[in-house]
Structure 1
Amino acid sequence: MPTEPIAPDLRFLLLPLPEFALLPFGGFLDKLRFTADEEDYSRQRYCAWRILGIEAGSVRASSGVAVHTDLAAADARWDEYDYLVLFGGRSARATEALAPRYRPLLRRALRHGVKLVAIDNASFLLAACGLLDGHKVAVHWRHEAEFRASHPRVEVMSEQLYCVDGARITCAGGMAAIDLAVELLAGACGRTRALKGLPDMLVDEARGSAHALRSLDDAAVSGRHVGRAIALMRTLLGTRATSDELAARIGVSRRQLDRLFLQRHGRTVRAYWTEMRMQHARWRLLNSGHALAQIADEIGLADTSQLARQFRRRFGQSPARFRKQPG
């Protein structure tokens, strides 16, 4: 076992935000750990990291687990680090509300040449701080419509796991944090060392940024046209695009696409798309405090009256009443 000191190729500050998701944090950190040393010794030799907090103490994850921060922002020597990696909170709105407190820290990092990495909903914080203007961003599919509505001037790269755009790097979250870690490590440590440890993590391979998830709506077994249509439905969720336009973009007739959806999902294209919109509205009502007008805009409806009619038809009550329900 080698003992000689080695200057790390990359140095990371990991900044979990309040209510951060534990999965991408743990996946990203463990990928650093495997790459950082020979075998599985867990020493910080080829890459190094510290857990940063806005202040000393601990940060609680959305699961309730508390993670200790070993470095306060005021004590960070920014010129000693290459990346500041932020792990987003459960609520996009609550994450955006952190902007006044975190903006000075983020701007300080940029002034010292530190690249900003936003994982999961941390992209909302960077956007709220005005730090994604002119940059492209990868967002979790569940939050894509919300991000587009809140930050229409930021270009969203649909169906991408992560996006490296200069000093701004974004990641959709989840297991994609491992893929992003491999990408960042490969540039400085080499591909072989970047891939080290994936078998130990029971990960088959590192996925590229444009990898298409097979788990979304059973797209793998839905057929090529249906799977492509469902992906486009998500991308076009906040638009007024029609089922006819959707079929045209795929290269089939509306009647043929309806027949495929009826065979595989028991409903027409329009009915499937309406259900997707209603489920998104339901999720947003449960997980955000945004106005009904914004939620209607996110799912391509003209106004709150149209949202109320469709929501009541699907769930038997108005959006306002549904939101007031306990639990």
Structure 2
Amino acid sequence: MSTANDRPLQRPDVRLLLMPLPDFALLPFGAFLDKLRFSADEADRSRQRYCAWTLMGVESAPVVSSSGVQVTMEATPDSVDLAAFDYLVVFGSRTVQASLGHVHTHGPVLRQAAARGLPLVAIDNASFLLAEAGLLKGRRVALHWRHVTEFRHAFPRIAVASEQIYCFDRDRITCAGGTAAIDMAVELLSRHCGRERAFKGLADMLVDEPRHQGHHLQSMEGGGPDLGRHLVRAVALMRTSMADGLTVASIAERIGIGRRQLDRLFTERFGHSAHNHWTAMRMEHAHWRVTHSHHSLSAIADEVGLGNASSLARLFRRHYGTSPGAARAGGPRD
């Protein structure tokens, strides 16, 4: 006597082609893939019944993650039928420069998929690759907060959804990376498999509920969840407006309080003025860019609103006790 489990598998509700770039981060890759797995079948059987996926590399060789774990590819662009899939999902490399460096090898595949109407999903730094390939024109992009300023500087004509952890914009989906890949996967699966199936397995993943695309990360504020709404908004504006020409006074005006009150709030919470807090944020970003990129000091100074390399070098030495060149020679430090 046959059972339901013996019957032929139905056509999946959604089919995804997954393309991790070399040196990709395991966290968003594993988070996204495991959410698919939980939703793909009944119970915990892990069959690809309701959603299905195939791993694709530009070559058949395994792709190595940033942690050294190798992932076997099931297909290459020459062996796969793009029409058999509903999405092409790209997982970015560990650094922006590495992702951008794959435009010549992976860009043609992405352009071909886009030309055939296949929606593209960019997770983590993969958004830089899509932008470099000319595939994000007229779209809004969700990015990891650390890369918002850099992206705006590199691609000033592409709108950044700076307060979103993922963004659905027609045939382009972008995700900031990390655990936001789970939240984005739930939204995507909800649209194809229904809310109940999309939520399946969250408890097993120790996730209470998926976050909305506009979820605000309290961990970004450096002061805990009790900062208060004025400081939360002020810090968020500072982080996303380093190169926009805003002043502390204009930030105070935007959030509906006076400049003196804003300074008082910063002094009470952080022990320094709003201006000094913003300068420290700028230098933190500049330090990260100096030690994690090969961009010129002039370019980094523009990103953080300091105007020129001399101002950046002077403030850098004051804050870190060393020159940008010496910090860069010491290599990446998180």
TM score, norm. by length of structure 2: 0.95
Pick aligned residue for 2:290 from 285, 291, 295: 285
How many residues matched? 327
Q: Is it true that 1:243 corresponds to 2:243 in the alignment? A: no
- 1:3 and 1:292 mapped to 2: Cα distance? 63
Partner in structure 2 of residue 79 of structure 1: 83
Residue of 177, 183, 198 corresponding to 1:173:
177
CA contact (8 A) 1:55 1:74 kept: no
Q: Which residue of structure 2 lines up, in the alignment, with residue 114 of structure 1? A: 118
Q: 1:108 corresponds to which letter in structure 2? A: Q
In structure 1, C-alpha distance between the alignment counterparts of 2:122 and 2:27, rounded to whole Å: 14
Deviations 1:138-190 (A, max 9, x none): 01100000000010010001110111111111000111100111111111101
* Kept in 2: contact 1:182–1:194 (CA 8 A): yes
- Unaligned ranges ≥5, structure 1: none
Paired residues of 1:139 and 1:172 also in contact (CA < 8 A)? yes
Runs of 4+ in 1 over 6 A off after TM superposition: none
Question: Residues of 2 paired with 1:152 and 1:256: CA distance?
Answer: 33
Question: 1:3 aligned to 6, 21, 32, which one?
Answer: 6
Q: In terms of mean alpha carbon deviation, does 214-223 or 20-29 score higher? A: 214-223
- Which of residues 309, 320, 324 in structure 1 aligns to 2:325? 320
Question: Which letter maps to 2:87?
Answer: Y
Partner of 2:33: 29
Looking at structure 1, the residues matched to 298 and 160 of structure 2 have their Cα atoms a distance apart, in angstroms, of 22
Tell me the residue number matched to 1:224.
229
Distance between the aligned counterparts of 1:326 and 1:35, measured in 2? 41
- What secondary structure does 1:53 align onto? coil
Q: Deviations over 1:248-288 (max 9, x none)?
A: 11111111111111111111101111001101111111111
Match of 1:188 in 2: 192
Give the aligned residue type for 1:102. H
In structure 2, distance between residues paired with 1:180 and 1:231: 22
Given that residues 117 and 168 in structure 1 are in contact (C-alpha distance below 8 angstroms), is that contact kept between their aligned partners in structure 2? yes
Quote the residue 1:294 is aligned against.
Answer: 299
Aligned pairs for 1:127-276 (under 5 A) are 127-217=131-221, 218-276=223-281
CA displacement at 1:137 relative to structure 2: 0.5
> Aligned residues: percent identity?
54
Shift of 1:103: 1.6
Q: Does residue 65 in structure 1 map to residue 75 in structure 2? A: no
SS in 2 for 1:240: coil
Q: Does residue 98 of structure 2 align to residue 94 of structure 1?
A: yes
Aligned equivalents of 1:10, 1:326: Cα separation in 2: 43
1:222/1:119 Cα in 2 relative to 1: closer, same or farther (>3 Å)? same
Cα drift, residue 319 of structure 1:
1.2
TM-score, normalised with respect to structure 1? 0.97
Q: CA deviation at 1:222?
A: 1.2
Q: Which amino acid aligns with 1:3?
A: D
Structure 2: state its 5+ residue gaps: none
Change in 2 beyond 3 A, CA 1:306/1:248: same
Instruction: Compute the displacement of 1:295 (Å).
Output: 0.6
* 2:62 match: secondary structure: strand
Name the aligned partner's letter for residue 204 of structure 2.
Answer: D
Contact 1:17 1:86 in 2 (8 A): yes
Backbone CA RMSD of aligned residues: 1.2
